[in-house]
Amino acid sequence: MKAKKMSVTAKQRRAGWIYLTPATLLIAIMSFYPMVQALFTSFKTGSSAHMRWADPIFNNYIRMFRDKLFIRSLGNTFLYLIVEVPIMLILAILLAQLLNNKDLKFKGFFRTCVFLPCATSLVSYSLIFKSLFATNGLINLILVKLGIFESNYNFLGTPSSARAIIIIALIWRWTGYNMVFYLAGLQNIEYSVYEAAKIDGANGWKTFWKITVPLLKPTIVMTMIMSINGTLQLFDESVNLTSGGPANTTITMSHYIYNNSFGKGVANFGYASALSFLVFMMVAVLSAINMKAGDKRD
């Protein structure tokens, strides 16, 4: 009987490996192999057709810390990260709490409205915001008509306002996406927990902080990691909304990496690969910090 049981276990194990092997091979070939090749490329210099090992070997990594434009792109990316991610996640959890109310009518309609921006193409929504905030766009028209501005303001031509528009666009685009995760988490919390808290005299604010937030902690950590990952790799908004301007004051790290690889006739794949691995390390470190901070197990 024991031998038969072991035989069944062995068959199940073998079947598991058979099902896993194709996906594992595809991931290894399509993801891990290019990553290893990119790591080797980050230690090389020269054009794509005539690449050679850098001298010294870490020359590309040394160069990036002397590159003023990269430092600017790094600062811009972290500015978007620090401002946009907390606002977006707070709005998402508040909207999820509001739309999880069992007495609210037309919940499906409101949830769809909040989620719809997420279904919009990245390029499309960037172009929409670009037209809205253009010098002769709708926003300028409204502000001038209301008497707030005397004349049209160049939102996308001013560094501070251009950065603010990117942040507003990111919040508009991704708040609904994160709200869906929080909404799913809230629906897994038994309503009797809230009723018990209400009987004990807890008001809405205390219930939110003492019950909702602790029970949603795994979801909050997950959305924070995804948001940090996405913001550090921010590309479409910088390219399509502001083109990195004015004068590269809104350029992001991914946009700068693209420019070094394919932009303006440059094909510096060695330096671009080194920059990419720095972004990879930042994503890994920040994700590890979030996971450690969110894991309260002994």
Q: How many domains does the structure of the chain reveal?
A: 2
Question: What phi and psi values does residue 6 have, to the nearest 5 degrees?
Answer: -65, -35
Which residue has tokens 């996640």? 89
Residues 6+ apart with CB under 8 A from 174: 88, 118, 227, 230
DSSP H helices in 146-216: 159-187, 191-199, 204-207, 213-215
- As a whole number of angstroms, the distance between CA 9 and CA 227 comes to 41
Per-residue pLDDT at 2:
46
CA angle 133, 137, 141 (to 5 degrees): 110
pTM of the model: 0.84
3-class DSSP state for residue 55?
coil
Q: Is residue 216 part of a domain?
A: yes
Shared domain for 67 and 206, answered yes or no, is: yes
Q: Is residue 156 part of a domain?
A: yes
Per-residue pLDDT at 298:
46
Q: Is residue 46 part of a domain?
A: no
Shared domain for 23 and 87, answered yes or no, is: no
Per-residue pLDDT at 5:
53
- What token pair was written down for 77? 């990316």
Residues 6+ apart with CB under 8 A from 97: 182, 186, 208, 212
Element (H, E) at 44: strand 44-45
- Low-confidence stretches of the chain (pLDDT < 70) are 1-6, 48, 264-266, 294-298
CA separation (Å) from 97 to 159, 211, 213, 217?
35, 12, 10, 14
Shared domain for 159 and 242, answered yes or no, is: yes
Per-residue pLDDT at 149:
85
Shared domain for 17 and 128, answered yes or no, is: no
- As a whole number of angstroms, the distance between CA 273 and CA 269 comes to 6
CA separation (Å) from 81 to 3, 64, 163, 171, 238?
57, 21, 12, 11, 14
pLDDT tens digits, 70-115: 999 999 999 999 999 999 999 999 998 888 877 788 888 888 888 8
Shared domain for 86 and 182, answered yes or no, is: yes
Per-residue pLDDT at 297:
53
Shared domain for 181 and 213, answered yes or no, is: yes
CA angle 152, 153, 155 (to 5 degrees): 140
CA separation (Å) from 279 to 43, 50, 90, 298?
16, 26, 25, 31
The one-letter amino acid code at 284 reads: A
Q: Is residue 49 part of a domain?
A: no
Q: Is there a contact between 206 and 130 (Cβ–Cβ < 8 Å)?
A: no
- As a whole number of angstroms, the distance between CA 193 and CA 70 comes to 50
